[in-house]
């Protein structure tokens, strides 16, 4: 059993941010950021720094301090190839989207992949089993997993709490003299903490740091939202800010600072933006108010909620302040003259879904279950069917949980056709007919189909009858491949996607790495040398519905003695 000290945040930050530790940067190239800590992403708050690698792969990635590797992961999604290193000061660093690992780590994980006969793997070495020195190369930068371009995702966490901390506190040099950019501010009339339509407030830029607006005449409850981004000196990427606050007559009404976050914050990110605008226009307006009973690690329920009540015959000075990590600051200042508020129009809710209740809709083949607290507020939701189609109406309110959707097909199917049945989302606005149906991850039990993560949309039952495709890229049948380092093939599926693949040479399992973004699998001949010249390659691929394809090929390669694994 490993005993770890219990660290308060203060002690952890004091240890972590001490310059006396002199950590080295994870890359030797200038640190240019394409993503900052806490940055708003579509499904989460960014838990680290995205460091650009000049559009290339293969740069040395170094451990910033001495430590012990405690986790190695290989995945086709998420962090891709990733290393977690535990340090003596109570922190763990994370290095993600690697192209490959350093030799000693590569040998360790590849031996396990062959032992378990899997490509995707996760291993937790014991403390001290694989130690690294400060500045030691632990891998090479890449683009694996859920990455959309070569970069290094770097994190530092409190080891015990497993909470991400802001890596910029380590003191790495990221030149930044640019103030955050204010693209627009908006006011929202509030009724019972529910905001109405947004109204943009025209801004005048006074200088490089101050924006102003004309006097507003408001009465009643209001919240404010800001559309913004930040940049560093060496990067043109639009990144997130470090600190935000709202003050009225000098009094703090709303504030957060991204020194640390919790992974549980991510599922609540939609509650801190104007969700309706984001959904309709793909424009993200960050709310400087909280109108839902939601708590974040960086913003507690006891914090001021940012909803301001403006009273008749009173004057107010409103200040919105945004700041990056280097304390470059932008300000929006304007005055409000309090007037008598008009009585808000009540919006009728026909099919009201209350957060405190759960709901079950039963149709001939569809059963839709909406658990308690699926939404943060009462919403108007329409649910109906037409033939074999289930239509769940759009909702302009953030969703906290998924719907549970069960389907009981009402037609008799033979075993094959039932196997090929699946759920799909139908989008009539897609220009290409083949893109109008999108596969929904579907579980099957007897004749029932089930998904736990449904959301508003149009659902249909469909069949996926086409098996995956596989095509060799750098070889052909009965070819000599003695001078080849790799075998490379393209695999693809037209609808449900690749679920699994299994490859053998001469009936012995071999490791084909998989890169879904490029639809590529490839085998490294350095892994195994076979005694026979003739190599019988077999690869079986299965899609998510169960359709399979078997590829076979006969190749020839001169054996190399004494290299067998």
pLDDT at 547 over 90: yes
Name the token pair of 403. Answer: 């719907």
pLDDT at 419: 80
Contact 329, 209 (CB under 8 A): yes
Whole-structure pTM value? 0.91
Angle, vertex CA 486, rays to CA 483 and CA 491, nearest 5: 140
Whether 20 shows a pLDDT value over 50: the answer reads: no
d(CA 210, CA 206): 5
Q: Round to whole Å and give the CA distance between 243 and 176.
A: 15
DSSP state for residue 528 in the 8-state scheme? -
Percentage of the chain with pLDDT > 90? 78
Task: Please say if the pLDDT value at position 406 is more than 90.
Answer: yes
Residue 14: its pLDDT value, please?
46
Distances (CA, A) of 352 to 129, 217, 348, 382: 57, 33, 9, 9
Domains by residue range for the chain, with CATH: 9-170 (2.70.70.10), 181-338 (no CATH), 352-463 (2.60.220.30), 469-556 (2.60.40.1220)
For residues 53-63, average pLDDT: 97
Burial class (CB in 10 A: 0-12, 13-18, 19+), 340: exposed
The C-alpha angle with vertex 351 and arms to 345 and 353, in degrees rounded to 5, equals: 95
Q: What is the mean pLDDT of residues 277-300?
A: 92
Residue 306 has pLDDT above 90, yes or no: yes
pLDDT band at 196 (very low <50, low <70, confident <90, very high): confident
Q: What is the DSSP string of 206-255?
A: -SSSEEE-PPEEE-EEEEEEEEEEB--TT----B--SEEEEEETTEEEEE
| Position 529 pLDDT exceeds 90 | no
pLDDT of 6 reads 36
Q: Where are the beta strands (DSSP E) in 219-353?
A: 220-229, 243-248, 251-257, 286-287, 308-310, 315-323, 329-338, 352-353
Q: Look at the block and give the residue holding tokens 């607290």.
A: 373
pLDDT-based confidence at residue 345 (cuts at 50, 70, 90): low
Question: If you average pLDDT over residues 275-279, what whole number do you get?
Answer: 92
User: Which tokens is 102 given?
Assistant: 């350093």
Give residues with Cβ within 8 angstroms of 301, minimum separation 6.
293, 294, 295
Average pLDDT over residues 13-24: 57
Per-residue pLDDT tens for 431-459? 777 778 999 998 988 788 999 888 899 99
Q: What is the pLDDT of residue 556?
A: 95
Mean pLDDT of all residues in the chain?
Answer: 90
pLDDT for res 414: 53
What is the reported pLDDT for 387? 80
Q: Shortest CA distance to 497 belongs to which of 439, 449, 442, 454? A: 439
Listed range (230-234, 369-373, 481-485, 557-561) with the worst mean pLDDT: 557-561
Average pLDDT over residues 57-83: 97
**pLDDT score of 197 more than 90:** no
**Is residue 342 very low, low, confident or very high in pLDDT (cuts 50, 70, 90)?**
confident
**What pLDDT, in 10s, does the model give residues 360-380?**
999 989 999 999 999 998 899
In this predicted structure, what is the pLDDT of residue 412? 58
> What pLDDT digit, counting tens, does each position of 104-114 carry?
999 999 999 99
Is 87 in a helix, a strand, or coil?
coil
User: Is a pLDDT exceeding 90 seen at residue 204?
Assistant: yes
DSSP assignment string, 100-123:
EE-HHHHHHHHHHHHHHT-SSEEE
Residue 352: the pLDDT is 86
- pLDDT of amino acid 348: 58
Judged by average pLDDT, the poorest of 129-133, 331-335, 390-394, 417-421 is 417-421
pLDDT of residue 273: 95
Check residues 416 and 371 and name the one with the higher pLDDT: 371
């Amino acid at each position: 059993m490993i005993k770890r000290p219990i660290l308060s945040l203060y002690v952890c930050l004091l240890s972590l941010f001490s310059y006396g530790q002199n950590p080295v940067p994870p890359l030797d190239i200038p640190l240019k950021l394409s993503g900052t800590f806490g940055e708003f992403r579509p499904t989460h708050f960014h838990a680290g720094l995205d460091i650009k690698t000049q559009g290339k792969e293969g740069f040395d990635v170094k451990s910033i301090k001495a430590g012990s590797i405690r986790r190695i992961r290989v995945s086709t999604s998420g962090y891709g190839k990733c290393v977690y290193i535990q340090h003596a000061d109570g922190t763990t660093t994370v290095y993600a989207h690697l192209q490959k690992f350093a030799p000693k780590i590569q040998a360790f994980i590849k031996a396990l992949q062959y032992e378990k006969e899997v490509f995707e793997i996760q291993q937790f070495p014991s403390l001290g089993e694989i130690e690294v020195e400060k500045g030691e190369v632990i891998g090479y930068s890449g683009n694996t997993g859920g990455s959309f371009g070569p970069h290094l995702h770097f994190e530092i966490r409190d080891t015990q709490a497993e909470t991400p901390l802001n890596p910029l506190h380590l003191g790495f040099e990221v030149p930044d003299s640019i103030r955050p950019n204010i693209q627009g501010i908006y006011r929202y009339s509030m009724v019972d903490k529910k905001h109405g339509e947004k109204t943009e407030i025209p801004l005048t830029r006074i200088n490089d740091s101050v924006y102003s607006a004309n006097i507003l005449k408001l009465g009643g409850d209001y919240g404010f939202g800001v559309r913004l981004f930040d940049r560093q000196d060496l990067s043109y990427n639009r990144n997130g800010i470090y600190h935000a606050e709202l003050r009225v007559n000098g009094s703090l009404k709303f504030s957060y600072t991204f020194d640390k976050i919790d992974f549980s914050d991510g599922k609540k990110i939609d509650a801190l933006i104007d969700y309706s605008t984001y959904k309709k226009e793909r424009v993200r307006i960050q709310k400087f108010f909280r109108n839902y009973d939601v708590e974040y690690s960086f913003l507690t329920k006891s914090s001021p909620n940012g909803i301001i009540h403006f009273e008749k015959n009173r004057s107010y000075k409103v200040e919105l302040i945004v700041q990056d990590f280097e304390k470059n600051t932008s300000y929006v200042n304007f005055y409000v003259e309090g007037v008598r508020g008009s009585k808000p129009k009540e919006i009728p809710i026909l099919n009201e879904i209350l957060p405190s209740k759960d709901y079950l809709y039963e149709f001939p083949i569809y059963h839709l279950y909406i658990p308690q607290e699926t939404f943060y507020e009462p919403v108007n939701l329409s649910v109906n069917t037409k033939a074999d189609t289930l239509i769940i109406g759009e909702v302009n309110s953030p969703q906290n949980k998924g719907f549970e959707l069960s389907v009981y097909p009402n037609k008799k199917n033979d075993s094959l056709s039932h196997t090929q049945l699946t759920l799909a989302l139908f989008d009539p606005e897609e220009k290409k007919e083949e893109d109008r149906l999108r596969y929904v991850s579907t579980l099957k039990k007897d004749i029932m189909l089930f998904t736990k993560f449904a959301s508003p949309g149009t659902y249909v039952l469909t069949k996926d009858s086409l098996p995956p495709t596989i095509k060799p890229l750098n070889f052909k049948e009965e070819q000599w491949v003695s001078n080849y380092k790799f075998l490379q093939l393209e695999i693809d599926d037209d609808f449900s996607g690749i679920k699994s693949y299994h490859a053998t040479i001469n009936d012995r399992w071999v490791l084909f790495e998989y890169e879904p973004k490029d639809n590529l699998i490839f085998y490294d001949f350095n892994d195994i040398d076979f005694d026979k010249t003739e190599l019988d390659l077999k690869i079986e691929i299965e899609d998510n519905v169960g359709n399979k394809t078997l590829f076979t090929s006969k190749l020839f390669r001169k054996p190399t003695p004494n290299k067998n694994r």
